[in-house]
Structure 1
């Protein structure tokens, strides 16, 4: 089945292109997702009519900025920048509960690709709360439900880092499986017919390896993220932190 719309292009030059990756789209083929038939690499290649190289990754259920190189030399240069921590990545997420105004989560994470070995890696995420909301939705023994819209900036690049760090501080991302809250995920499915993960890669910033120009690429929220933000009143300045 063909995707009805082309992938939304946020930025394009002679050697780089960025898209606003839809929630639910895999970046490339994976043996752990045999049910998928569409992949960002192939879709963008066909859309542009040329080979593309993903220089970083986003989880299948994460939407937002996804950057590709258009030649091998740029691919190598950008992958090195990501590896050296020279690319600033900013995400937004809707999470359970009222988060603190600011918090640095410094919590080592075990490597998923070595399940039989106790290999832990330094992992640091900076959190800033943008808005909070409390709605009249019973949850368990509580008559209301509380949620926060947070900005997350990973200072390291570990697999599922943001998802694991938010679960660690007991503010899991809504829709996250398996690190999130099953009760909240079920609640959102039943009440709002929402079955995605509310994590969005909002911006990346880096220095162009050839021109030295500072590049900032931002992605607007996609439909489902916007719908849930509106439903939970998290898109209104009324609930903004400090208001």
Structure 2
């Protein structure tokens, strides 16, 4: 595996040139601080809400502050204290919330601990899902997989309750754009449940048709084989809405569908353009 990638990463890169040249699973590109403000979807004295592109790491890494969203925001704000309220897998785009003071962090974290938070995702799935599906299937580590972090549906002492609700919004040409509501928050829950019901997330290297693509990507980065077998360079999963519903903290944060998923929906599923901005309407 090569060393740290020093290419800057911009919003345009996220939308049009994913993954950046030389990108590997443990080699995230650096964030351009000049681009950071364009990712903000809401800002006040208590919170910063970002629409994270689908290649940005949330947590600081050994490759320096600009290799993660938290590190870059801290640099951008001159080293100010902040607290990460929500987080996402690297290839999942969408809403990330950062609290800017202890009081805001406390009330948002209490809502999380009391399960007074709802999370809504948008996912592009393989196959055409005809009806909504409630998936109530416990998850545990997949001991049969060579990938240590992989989860699977199963029972046993290490299994944890996991419940997801998949609602198809549009389908066509062998794909489905679905809204997904999480009733629990387990590692890789949506991706593992999607695989379990036979509708893998498009572009998912680990929970797709061939988990060896994940290992190959970790070792070699984006290869010709990845390009042949994956219909998107990243998993088509987007955290679209985060709602806090505790008595002392009621807020809603949303992030629009990113360009790469919009293009897929327009070109391959045939979703009307005017509908893509109304996907979360009740």
TM-score (norm 2): 0.69
RMSD over aligned Cα, in angstroms? 3.3
Q: State the Cα deviation string for residues 19-38 of structure 1 (Å, max 9, x = none).
A: 0001011101358xx79961
Contact kept, 8 Å, 1:56 with 1:79, in 2: the verdict is: no
For residues 127 and 217 of structure 1, the distance between their equivalents in structure 2, rounded to whole angstroms, comes to 21
Find out whether 1:215 has 2:261 as its counterpart: no
For residues 268 and 115 of structure 2, the distance between their equivalents in structure 1, rounded to whole angstroms, comes to 34
C-alpha change, 1:96 and 1:70, in structure 2 (3 Å) is same
1:232 to 268, 271, 280: 268
C-alpha change, 1:125 and 1:11, in structure 2 (3 Å) is same
C-alpha change, 1:190 and 1:56, in structure 2 (3 Å) is same
C-alpha change, 1:177 and 1:209, in structure 2 (3 Å) is farther
Q: State the Cα deviation string for residues 180-201 of structure 1 (Å, max 9, x = none).
A: 2239x88983399731110000
User: Which ranges in structure 2 are unaligned for 5 or more consecutive residues?
Assistant: 1-5, 9-31, 142-147, 214-223, 277-282
Aligned length: 223
TM-score (norm 1): 0.80
C-alpha change, 1:35 and 1:167, in structure 2 (3 Å) is farther
C-alpha change, 1:36 and 1:231, in structure 2 (3 Å) is farther
1:164 to 179, 192, 208: 192
Q: State the Cα deviation string for residues 108-167 of structure 1 (Å, max 9, x = none).
A: 01157799x841111000111000011xxxxxxxxxxx1100000001010110011101
How far 1:79 moved relative to its partner? 2.1
How far 1:237 moved relative to its partner? 7.7
For residues 187 and 54 of structure 1, the distance between their equivalents in structure 2, rounded to whole angstroms, comes to 36
User: Which ranges in structure 1 are unaligned for 5 or more consecutive residues?
Assistant: 135-145
| Aligned residue in 1 for 2:96 | 66
